[in-house]
Structure 1
Amino acid sequence: MANAASGFAVHDDCKLKFLELKAKRTFRFIVFKIEEKQKQVVVEKLGEPAESYEDFTASLPADECRYAVYDFDFVTEENCQKSKIFFIAWSPDTSRVRSKMIYASSKDRFKRELDGIQVELQATDPTEIGLDVIKSRAS
């Protein structure tokens, strides 16, 4: 097996779409997938700005690993409108061991490509990325 930390390229589209999410708020979320055959991380799904957090969690496969970025809007106790960009490493317990290893070993390098991530979450089941968890980590 190639060294997963250096063996996977990050498709330019990943960085471009992330910049659009960050700067222009074109998307609410992005789901990324590692294409093992092409040895690169690619964009799997783009969430429109009007899509909800439930739409986002529904787009994560139940038994496959993914990386995801979510632009979370919230209001602070001082009544200020804010947003934070979450990086979520989705690695369900039911996914293949090889897949978990590849995603785990490539995560830091991939995350470095996305400049502007404010909060990182590791999740193995939907309760770990519940809206209550996101809200508590955002503030």
Structure 2
Amino acid sequence: MAFRAGSANTLSGMGVADHSKSTYMELQRKKFHRYIIFRIEEKKKEVVVEKTGGPTESYAEFTASLPENDCRYAVYDYDFVTSENCQKSKIFFISWAPAMSRIRAKMLYATSKNRFKRELEGIHYEIQATDPTEMDLEVLQDRAH
């Protein structure tokens, strides 16, 4: 038990790169990006932007950008039309931890998640996914409507 607690304290000291915050602001306020995929840069001890998707990219393009065997954080700006015919947008924070990823990576992402998420104001919903079915577009639709 002591090993696990010690590891969690060490791992949760991840910083957030300024570029990660400014890229998120571009998604949130200016709609420059449909999605952002973040990864933890262990050597630098910070969360960095790995990839962004343009405003016209599809949800399928977003999910195809996530690695099959490694963890990531992602933010997706989901646009939809309400039953009252109003255009809406909800920002989803997705914690991606596929079953095939290394245990160390899963621990690192799990212990750093809350601190990172706090840096991103305006998140509406959070999804934790270990396989693609847990973050199908229908899951987002159900949450947002």
Cα distance in 2 for partners of 1:98, 1:4 equals 10
Q: What corresponds to 2:133 in structure 1?
A: 127
TM-score, L = length of structure 2: 0.93
Question: How far apart are residue 102 of structure 1 and its match?
Answer: 0.4
Cα distance in 2 for partners of 1:101, 1:65 equals 10
Cα distance in 1 for partners of 2:58, 2:10 equals 37
Q: What corresponds to 1:83 in structure 2?
A: 89
Question: How far apart are residue 80 of structure 1 and its match?
Answer: 1.0
Cα distance in 1 for partners of 2:69, 2:44 equals 21
Q: What corresponds to 2:106 in structure 1?
A: 100
Structure 1 vs Structure 2 CA RMSD: 0.9
1:42-90 deviation per Cα after TM superposition (whole angstroms, max 9, x unaligned): 0000100010000100000001000000000011111111000000000
Q: 1:136 aligns with which of 131, 142, 145?
A: 142
Aligned residue identity for 2:88: K
Give 5+ residue unaligned stretches, structure 1. none
Cα distance in 1 for partners of 2:41, 2:134 equals 25
Q: Which structure has the larger Rg over C-alpha atoms?
A: 2
Q: What corresponds to 1:4 in structure 2?
A: 11
Q: What corresponds to 2:25 in structure 1?
A: 19
Cα distance in 1 for partners of 2:59, 2:86 equals 20
Q: How many residues align?
A: 138
> Percent of aligned pairs with the same residue?
61
TM-score, L = length of structure 1: 0.97
Q: 1:28 aligns with which of 23, 34, 40?
A: 34
Q: Which 4+ residue blocks in structure 1 deviate beyond 4 angstroms?
A: none
Aligned residue identity for 2:79: D
